[in-house]
Amino acid sequence: SVAPRKIGCPLRNELCSCKCPNSWMLLKHEVIKWKRIYFFSNLFCCNLHTLQVINEESPIWDASYKPAVSLLLQRSANSKRVHDAASAQQNAVRRPIADGSQAKKYKYSSEVEDLSNEVVLQAMRNINDSKNSRSSEVVFPVNAPRDEAAKTKESRGEIELHIVGNSLSHPVSKQSMLWLLGLHSVFAHQLPGMPRDYISQLVFDPKHKTLALIEEGRPIGGICFRTFATQGFTEIVFCAVTGDKQVKGYGTHLMNHLKDYSIQQGTKHFLTYADEFAIGYFKKQGFSKDIKVARPIYAGYIKEYEGATLMHCELHPSIVYTQFSSVIRRQKDIVKELIAQRQQEVQKIHPGLTCFKEGVRSIPVESIPGLREVGWRPIARAQRQARPLEESADPDKLAQTLATVLVAVRQHSAAWPFQKPVSQADVPDYYDHIKYPMDLKTMGERLKRGYYVTRRLFMADMARIFTNCRFYNLPETEYYRCANTLERYFQTKMKEIGLWDK
């Protein structure tokens, strides 16, 4: 072998090249490869000063060497989404009111659409009562999520999920090795196109781990994966469930657990090569053929297969995927219950229209009796020639555009009341009336965290600023006028960049 201290000596270099040319060429290619990695890191990185200094000596000789932080992780570090962003503390939007005579609030306002906690809780109680009354009729609803049965079995202890893998640094338990052998059999049987030797090489590779689904002490399915922490993604190598256990939601349950595990480990991207029979499954799990990870990040790391399709899945750090379907289902039930309550409140039979019998060809929709009472509003949507940024656009580009709008709004002369949260010491009763406060400072913090992944989230927070102001203050106050002025200015700025469709 060649010692590192001898690399710089010309005589020894010559001897090495003569006596062991193959080793010398391998070393040369190794150095070139690492220099290319540094090149790509410099080429695609926005913050060059965060990169480590290139070591001219080959890094393969340094036992303490750690690769430079990848482009993906460096970009996400600047706009890191905190895992509890959905529950982050929201601040207020209004400025203190000096004149006590102007401190009167509207008790009712047609603009305020936020529901009180009591209304939502009552809707949830009604849903629970309704489910309890018919619990004996159906064990699982017809439209139950795919993984509902699997989650129920896990809660009963009938199935278990474990992360298992081989290791060269510490002893591996006998149980883990038996599970790995069982998983090898599952993958080999369900993936006949894969050579058994190749499956053995990856399943027992210490760099790979497997999420095992255990029933009655034996593996019935699993996902073999490898995490590239420095590159910010996880490669899914094998995914299979035994034939007699398929179509029971186990595949979805496995993938949801792997997503939660990856988020806990700080990995937000999945990549996999799927054959023609697996594309449908991966699409159901949120994978897409639209790869949003730059090729230099995964090229040379992920294993490529002929006849397979590369697919990508981006994970959201604020979502608990094992509970995602239940939460969405709960939200739908609450919305349906609230709609039913609203229908009972406004239910009224109106006499039929007679104007058409009198020869009238058409009438405005808003003139139909009862429409406005049930919440109908006219849609005045202008046709735009083009929208440069859609919800599926590059998140960084969208964030940059929204930041430009936010800066312009904050610099407007009418924005002074909304710059920072309302102090409860100055306005003690403000938070008694405003349950969902918002201000420009909070929006700026959310923008930095990457909260605004779509323009509609940004527009919703901005609209909340103006809605809260008009709800709390009287129309003759300066604050009310500032809200109207700034709202018109905000809409104008959004229309200029093609992000307004109201």
Q: DSSP assignment of 293-333, as one string?
A: S-HHHHTTTSPP-TT-EEEEEEPPTT--HHHHHHHHHHHHH
Instruction: Name the nearest CA neighbour of 159 among 209, 225, 223, 212.
Output: 212
Question: What CATH number matches the domain at 121-133+143-322, 3.30.830.10, 3.40.630.30, 2.130.10.10, 3.40.640.10?
Answer: 3.40.630.30
DSSP letters spanning 259-303? HHHHHHTT--EEEEEE-TTTHHHHHHTT-BSS--S-HHHHTTTSP
**Confidence band, pLDDT 50/70/90 cuts, at residue 87:** very low
461 vs 53, which has greater pLDDT? 461
Residue 368 has a pLDDT of: 82
Contacts of 19 (CB under 8 A, 6+ apart): none
Secondary structure of 221-252 in HEC code, one letter for each residue: EEEEEEEECCCCEEEEEEEEECHHHCCCCHHH
Q: Do the bridges between strand 209-215 and strand 309-314 make them parallel or antiparallel, or are there none, so unpaired? A: unpaired
Residue 263 has a pLDDT of: 94
- What is the number of other CB atoms lying within 10 angstroms of the CB of residue 254? 23
Cβ contact 134:236 at 8 Å:
no
Summarize pLDDT for 414-468 with one digit per residue, the tens.
999 999 998 888 888 988 889 899 999 999 999 999 888 888 899 999 999 999 9
**Confidence band, pLDDT 50/70/90 cuts, at residue 478:** very high
Beta bridge pairs of residue 239: 223
Average pLDDT over every residue of 171-187: 95
Cβ contact 38:54 at 8 Å:
yes
Instruction: Name the nearest CA neighbour of 205 among 253, 175, 174, 172.
Output: 172
Across 97-101, 163-167, 432-436, the highest mean pLDDT is recorded for 163-167
**Confidence band, pLDDT 50/70/90 cuts, at residue 79:** very low
Secondary structure of 163-222 in HEC code, one letter for each residue: EECCCCCCCCCHHHHHHHHHHHHHHHHHCCCCCHHHHHHHHCCCCCEEEEEEECCEEEEE
Average pLDDT over every residue of 478-488: 93
148 is catalytic: no
Residue 55 has pLDDT above 50, yes or no: no
The continuous run of DSSP H or E covering 489 comes out as helix 478-496
Across 3-12, 248-257, 325-334, 362-371, the highest mean pLDDT is recorded for 248-257
Average pLDDT over every residue of 91-102: 42
The SS3 assignment for 388 reads: coil
Residue 26 has a pLDDT of: 55
231 vs 372, which has greater pLDDT? 231
Summarize pLDDT for 243-288 with one digit per residue, the tens.
888 888 899 999 999 999 999 999 999 999 999 889 999 999 999 9
The highest-level CATH class for domain 85-114+381-496 is: mainly alpha
Rounded Cα–Cα distance for residues 262 and 234 (Å): 8
Across 68-72, 182-186, 291-295, the highest mean pLDDT is recorded for 182-186
Residue 73 has a pLDDT of: 42
**Domain locations in the chain as residue ranges:** 4-68, 85-114+381-496, 121-133+143-322
- Torsion angle of C-alpha atoms 68, 73, 75, 81, degrees rounded to 10: -150
> 491, exposed or middle or buried, with CB in 10 Å at 0-12, 13-18, 19+?
middle
Residue 76 has pLDDT above 90, yes or no: no
Rounded Cα–Cα distance for residues 204 and 165 (Å): 7
- 56, 111, 215, 235: which one is catalytic? 235
Rounded Cα–Cα distance for residues 163 and 210 (Å): 6
**Confidence band, pLDDT 50/70/90 cuts, at residue 159:** very high
- What is the number of other CB atoms lying within 10 angstroms of the CB of residue 241? 23
User: Mean pLDDT for the chain?
Assistant: 77
Residue 310 has a pLDDT of: 94
**Terminal C-alpha separation, the chain:** 71
Residue 253 has a pLDDT of: 93
32 vs 350, which has greater pLDDT? 350
Residue 181 has pLDDT above 50, yes or no: yes
**Confidence band, pLDDT 50/70/90 cuts, at residue 365:** confident
